Amino acid sequence: MATEPPTSSDWATHARMNAATRWERPSAEMGRGATDAIVALAQPRPGMRALDVAGGTGAPALQIARAIGPSGRVTATDLSPEPLKIAAERARDRGLTNISFEVADVHNLPFSDESFDLVTCRLGVMFFADLPRAVGEMRRVLKPGGRVALLAWGPMQQPYFESTGGIVMRRIGAPLPDAAKQTFKFGQRGTLGAALTGAGFRDVKEELQTVPWVWSGSIADLWEYFQAATIPFRPLLAQIRPEQVEIITRDVHAAFAKYWDGEKVNMTADFVLAAGVR
């Protein structure tokens, strides 16, 4: 059976957009290690023209905009306008004027050949419907010598997912949904780098990096956030019967409690990073 990635409407649900606003600060802190990792890999420099694809609510585009300064320019894209509206608000709040936002499909980027010095994608590449075409488009819009930097989830076997989806799977006796399998498709070492090599990138490097994954808030809020924001697990969560809610909630809270210090849930997360040069 074919695996269908989440659609643009899936990612732009009211619940997910509300979660992005309601928990902006703890969500940003939790993802900071991943954002810092891809920005370090991307190596932005003042004056660059950068493109961020599947950028959602602004990470890492906003951080890259700060790094390249007023002489550079970032174009942040996503399939859906809703998260880009949130990203634009965050850019205004931070006083960033060197960034623009555009609805665009990575499989058919509306930009001329050799337009950018840098292309990034944080936690979007797993869901591209046609990976070779999407990566080929990234290469097409890069200038010769331009750099691509990608970040994807590593294997599912890590604290955040074992404490949430893993518990639900065991309690309801259901397998991992196809959409969630997509989340971890690059967990097998070498696969993301191979996609870049196959598209014609050179000097390709891939690594698995463990970074802090810290939630500044209550355990109850973290579980609520996961349910609202983690779209690929929605088919699994929809299978929870009313009589199972209490025991699953108890189990999830107990799992997160192992990482709780009284103020924060201190986990780590494993990400695959890959970069290459056009």
For residue 74, being part of any structural domain is answered with yes
pLDDT tens, residue by residue, 29-77: 999 999 999 999 999 999 999 999 999 999 999 999 999 999 999 999 9
Range of the domain at 103: 8-155+184-212+268-277
For residue 162, being part of any structural domain is answered with no
If one counts every other C-beta atom within 10 angstroms of the C-beta of residue 201, the result is 22
Given this model, what pLDDT does residue 14 score? 52
- Percent of the chain past pLDDT 70, that is, above it, reads 93
pLDDT tens, residue by residue, 234-262: 999 999 999 999 999 999 999 999 999 99
For residue 259, being part of any structural domain is answered with no
Cβ partners under 8 Å of residue 217, min gap 6: 23, 26, 264, 265
Nearest 5°: phi and psi at 173? 70, 35
Cross-sheet strand order for the sheet of 116-122: 99-103, 73-78, 49-52, 116-122, 142-153, 265-277, 202-215
Beta bridge partners of 102: 77
Given this model, what pLDDT does residue 24 score? 83
State how far the Cα of 164 lies from the Cα of 253, in Å rounded to an integer: 9
The token pair at 41 is: 């890999």
Residue 196: CATH number of its domain = 3.40.50.150
pLDDT over 90 (residue 179): no
For residue 118, being part of any structural domain is answered with yes
State how far the Cα of 240 lies from the Cα of 234, in Å rounded to an integer: 10
For residue 217, being part of any structural domain is answered with no
If one counts every other C-beta atom within 10 angstroms of the C-beta of residue 203, the result is 11
Residue 13 CB-density burial (10 A; 0-12 exposed, 13-18 middle, 19+ buried): middle
pLDDT over 80 (residue 151): yes
For residue 144, being part of any structural domain is answered with yes
Angle in degrees, 0-180, between the axes of helices 131-141 and 191-198, rounded to the nearest 10: 60
State how far the Cα of 168 lies from the Cα of 51, in Å rounded to an integer: 37
Structurally, how many domains does the chain consist of? 1
